[in-house]
C-alpha cells in the first residue's frame, strides 16, 4: 500500500514537472525562441522599465495578493539585448525594488531561471534606477515590461509620459512594450499636445484575457486604454488568450508592442531588426 502511494506521488510530480510544462508550451504559453539573433550593438544602450507596484488590490484598498512584474516580460528582452552587446539598464517610476509576480516554477522560462540565479540581475531588480534621474536620450531602445503591477503605475506617470515624448521627438530611439507595459505609452504627447500613439498600430493584453483570468480589479486594462488613446488595437485570440501571441510594429517603425507574456522573443527580435535598419 505504501509503495502504491509513493508511486502515485511520483507520477503526480513527474506530470507537474515534465508533462504539464510541455502541454502548456504546445498550447502556446512561453514559446521557445524561433529567431536567429545575430546582432552587434556594442555602442548602444537599452532601458527597460518595470513596475514598483506589488499588490493586486482593489481601488481604495491596500491589501491583496502579491503581484508585480511578470519576470519573463523583462528577462527575455534583457538577455536578447545583452547578447546583442548592449548595455542594459533597469528602471522604474520610483526606483528601488521591482516586485515580481509569484508563478509556479514549472512555467518559468529559461531566462527567468538565469535571471533569478544571477547576482547582478537580482541587484538591478532590487535597486532599479529612478526614471526621473535618467536621460532617456542616451538610449537606443526604451522598453516597457508588463505584469499586473504595471496597471497601477506606468499609465499614471506624467514623468514617464514626458520622458517618452522627449525621447521620441529628440532621438531615433525604438520604443517597445509588452503586456501591461504598453500602458506606459498613453501619456506621451506630440509637439502639438495630442496623444502620441493615436492612429498607431499597437497591441497589449486583451480584455478577453483579463476576463478569462478573472482579474478585472486593476485600475487600467491595456486594450481598453489603448483604444481610448486612439491606438489601432490588434490582437490574436485562442480558446484562452493566455495562449495567444501577437507582435506588431507601427507604420513609422518606432513602436513595437507585444500582446502578452508569450511575445518576449518576437518583440525583442523586431526591435533589434529595426535598429539594424
Domain that holds residue 95: 42-276
Whether 15 is covered by a domain: the verdict is no
Whether 37 is covered by a domain: the verdict is no
For residue range 181-231, what is the model confidence (pLDDT) as tens digits?
999 999 999 999 999 999 999 999 999 999 999 999 999 999 999 999 999
CATH code for position 115: 3.40.50.880
Q: What percentage of the chain carries pLDDT values higher than 70?
A: 93
Position 1 pLDDT exceeds 80: no
Whether 97 is covered by a domain: the verdict is yes
Whether 120 is covered by a domain: the verdict is yes
Whether 250 is covered by a domain: the verdict is yes
Q: Do residues 5 and 12 make contact, with C-beta atoms less than 8 angstroms apart?
A: no
Whether 4 is covered by a domain: the verdict is no
Grid-cell match 482579474, residue found: 215
Report CA-CA distances (Å) from 146 to 64, 80, 170, 191, 259.
Answer: 19, 17, 25, 27, 10
Whether 265 is covered by a domain: the verdict is yes
Whether 14 is covered by a domain: the verdict is no
Q: Cα–Cα distance between 183 and 178 in angstroms, integer?
A: 9
Residue 81's nearest CA partner among 113, 41, 108 is 41
pLDDT in the model for residue 6 = 62
Give the total number of structural domains in the chain: 1
Q: Cα–Cα distance between 236 and 259 in angstroms, integer?
A: 8
Tell me what the pLDDT averaged over the chain comes to: 93
Tell me the torsion sign for CA atoms 213, 71, 147, 194: negative
**pLDDT band at residue 59 under the 50/70/90 scheme:** confident
Amino acid at each position: 500500500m505504501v509503495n502504491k502511494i509513493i508511486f502515485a506521488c511520483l507520477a503526480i510530480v513527474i506530470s507537474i514537472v515534465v508533462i504539464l510544462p510541455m502541454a502548456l508550451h504546445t498550447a502556446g504559453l512561453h514559446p521557445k525562441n524561433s529567431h536567429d539573433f545575430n546582432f552587434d550593438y556594442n555602442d548602444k544602450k537599452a532601458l527597460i522599465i518595470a513596475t514598483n507596484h506589488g499588490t493586486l488590490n482593489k481601488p481604495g484598498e491596500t491589501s491583496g495578493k502579491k503581484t508585480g512584474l511578470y519576470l519573463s516580460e523583462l528577462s527575455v528582452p534583457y538577455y536578447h539585448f545583452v547578447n546583442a552587446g548592449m548595455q542594459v539598464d533597469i528602471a522604474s517610476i520610483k526606483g528601488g525594488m521591482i516586485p515580481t509576480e509569484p508563478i509556479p516554477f514549472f512555467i518559468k522560462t529559461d531566462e527567468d531561471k538565469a535571471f533569478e540565479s544571477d547576482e547582478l540581475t537580482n541587484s538591478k531588480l532590487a535597486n532599479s534606477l529612478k526614471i526621473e534621474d535618467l536621460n532617456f536620450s542616451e538610449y537606443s531602445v526604451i522598453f516597457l515590461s508588463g505584469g499586473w503591477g504595471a496597471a497601477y503605475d506606468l499609465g499614471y506617470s506624467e514623468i514617464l509620459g514626458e520622458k517618452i515624448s522627449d525621447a521620441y521627438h529628440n532621438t531615433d530611439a525604438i520604443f517597445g512594450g509588452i503586456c501591461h507595459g504598453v500602458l506606459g505609452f498613453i501619456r506621451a504627447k506630440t509637439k502639438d499636445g495630442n496623444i502620441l500613439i493615436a492612429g498607431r498600430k499597437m497591441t497589449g493584453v486583451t480584455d478577453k484575457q483579463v476576463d478569462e483570468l478573472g482579474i478585472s480589479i486593476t485600475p487600467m486594462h491595456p486594450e481598453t486604454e489603448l483604444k481610448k488613446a486612439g491606438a489601432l488595437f490588434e490582437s490574436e485570440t485562442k480558446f484562452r488568450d493566455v495562449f495567444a501571441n501577437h507582435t506588431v510594429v507601427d507604420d513609422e517603425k518606432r513602436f513595437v508592442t507585444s500582446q502578452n507574456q508569450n511575445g518576449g522573443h518576437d518583440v525583442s527580435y523586431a526591435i533589434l531588426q529595426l535598429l539594424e535598419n
